[in-house]
Structure 1
């Protein structure tokens, strides 16, 4: 007879299943994608149902801090503030650990990018230039959630870059 999986084993499996889906950026406000936000919120929801304490973190990033091709980066609108969303989980010892499901392991290793492992001391998958404190995150998130125009403007400014980035990601990380 097989023993039932322990909570940490279940959580690790959930995390790996989400993390190992190839990263893609949402190209509209209506259609989710496997980006940091949607993968992260899914992970938070599922780990919370297992009884973990999980929190969201948001920080500013610069896409130039990665292995992306020059022709893709040339499409960046420099007036846009880009951020990264990732979860942190409180482990049984009471310490918080980054649990960022953004990059799958194979892609991250191919490009020497950070990636997370369950139960390990991790760093976010993107280099964070400025980490928002919880009281800074709420107004930022509220702007996104409460105003469709904010999303439409963002997508209009980032659409070409994100479409090109997704094309590159599909070739490099199918």
Structure 2
């Protein structure tokens, strides 16, 4: 499949620099890892690139969050979505999670258009491409979203607000 005339680095940066935000209600736009991966997936496909979703598990407490945010009740075990894109017949990790205004607290990836980027979280377990897709389909069901928000909404709100404060500095 031929690649259309597209600057994939600029496209990556556009998606990366959408401010990361976890939706607090099902009708809000998804600008966290899963939503950003979906946006980038569509861009890569449109450009003629082969791309696939990947998912890993992580713990929120591994992100060095302030104590007041860690104290907000939440499920510490979570999942993280990123992509792989095929370049020169090799799968490359592409993670546009953290926007560049968060570079003082998280690794806001730069990408050269051909190498792996770092995964935005400390992965505990990486699922296969097939398992990743199944898991993502599950977590995006209305029932799963409602359950997740019931358990984690206050934590997500505190996390989003902390990120906003960090961006403003």
Range class of TM-score, shorter chain: 0.7 to 0.9
Larger Cα-atom Rg: 1
| Structure 1 vs Structure 2 CA RMSD | 2.1
Structure 2: gaps of 5 or more residues: none
- The question of 1:111 aligning with 2:111 is answered no
- The question of 1:53 aligning with 2:50 is answered yes
Question: Aligned partners of 2:93 and 2:5: how far apart in 1?
Answer: 15
Question: Aligned partners of 1:128 and 1:42: how far apart in 2?
Answer: 22
- Describe the shift of the 1:122–1:8 C-alpha distance in structure 2 as closer, same or farther (beyond 3 A): farther
Query: CA offset at residue 81 of structure 1?
Result: 3.7
TM-score by length of 1: 0.85
For residues 118-133 of structure 1, the aligned pairs below 5 Å read: 118-133=113-128
Over 6 Å off, 4+ runs: none
Query: CA offset at residue 7 of structure 1?
Result: 5.2
Helix, strand or coil at the partner of 2:7:
helix
1:162 to 143, 149, 156: 156
2:15 to 8, 18, 32: 18
The residue number in structure 2 matching 1:3 is none
Q: How many residues align?
A: 165
For residues 64-143 of structure 1, the aligned pairs below 5 Å read: 64-78=61-75, 81-91=77-87, 93-108=88-103, 110-111=104-105, 113=107, 115-117=109-111, 118-143=113-138
TM-score by length of 2: 0.87
Structure 1: gaps of 5 or more residues: 1-5
